[in-house]
Amino acid sequence: MKVYVMVGAPGAGKGTQAAILAERLGLRHLASGDLFREAVRSGTPVGLEAKRYMDRGALVPDPVVIAMIDERLDRSDAAAGVILDGFPRTRPQAESLDAALARRGAQVDAALYVGVPEEELVRRLSGRWICRAAGHPYHDVSRPPRVPGICDIDGSELYQRDDDRPETVRARLAQQLEPMYDVIDHYTTQGVLVAVDGTQSIDDVTQALLRAIAHPARPVNRSEAA
């Protein structure tokens, strides 16, 4: 089972790239935010709990997220491999994922960090549109749909996410960057972190990620480095 993890700030392009890579590599795209939004729409207990945090731009508590992802990894559509988008977001989540994968004889093959400066994140989130059917992302300026308001891929209606309002975007950035750096540190220590410049065009970011996946640097662990 191949496992890639997308790491990046809100709006960095995790969902955009994960969808493209999943298609190219034949892997399942699993986005924690999409799973929560689906649970909110269906009004499940997990959805009701998650909504309280998402509306404030805060992270959903680790146990809720970990249980949800663990259950999804057991489904048959994840058997060939997954691209995790939006998970893990904290060090305890990263440690739980390592344990969950080890139980299945797998490990994180690469953590793909898409780096984008904060001003650009705000620009990207304020112009973002998402499709109702599958969460395919568009942008007013950088990735407009062929027909305004309609998803190119599945024809469903496009909408703007509640948490893309400017005040919630500011809260997400204020609360979520710090734990993301812990996740980066976790995968750097494991020698599986790949960092790409996320300010390039969508295509160039994809090419950089595919090159990094095809030619992974030999992991250096701490005992070798010492």
51, containing H or E segment: helix 45-54
Which of 28, 104, 161, 165 is flagged as catalytic? 161
Token code pair at residue 139: 């942008």
DSSP 8-state assignment for residue 8? -
Residue 209 contact, options Mg ion, ligand AP5, none, Cβ 5-8 Å cut-off depending on partner type: none
Question: Which one from 37, 124, 128, 143 is the annotated catalytic residue?
Answer: 128
Token output for 112: 């793909």
Nearer to ligand AP5, 44 or 221 (CB): 44
Contacts with ligand AP5, residue ranges (CB under 6 A): 8, 10-16, 32-33, 36, 53-54, 57-60, 65, 86-87, 89, 93, 124-125, 127-128, 137-139, 142-143, 163, 172, 201-202, 205
> Hey, CA dihedral for 132, 136, 137, 143, is it positive or negative?
negative
Residue 83's binding partner, choosing from ligand AP5, Mg ion, none, with beta-carbon cut-off 5 to 8 A by kind?
A: none
- Going by DSSP bridges, is the β-strand pair 28-31/158-159 parallel, antiparallel, or unpaired? unpaired
Which of 15/88 has CB closer to Mg ion?
Answer: 15
Binding site for Mg ion (CB under 5 A): 15
Output 3 or 163, the one with its CB closest to ligand AP5.
163
At 145 the three-state DSSP class reads coil
Cα angle 128-77-7, degrees, rounded to a multiple of 5: 40
Angle, vertex CA 185, rays to CA 99 and CA 171, nearest 5: 100
161 labelled catalytic: yes
202 binds, among Mg ion, ligand AP5, none (CB under 5 to 8 A by kind): ligand AP5
Residues with a catalytic annotation lie at: 14, 89, 128, 161, 172
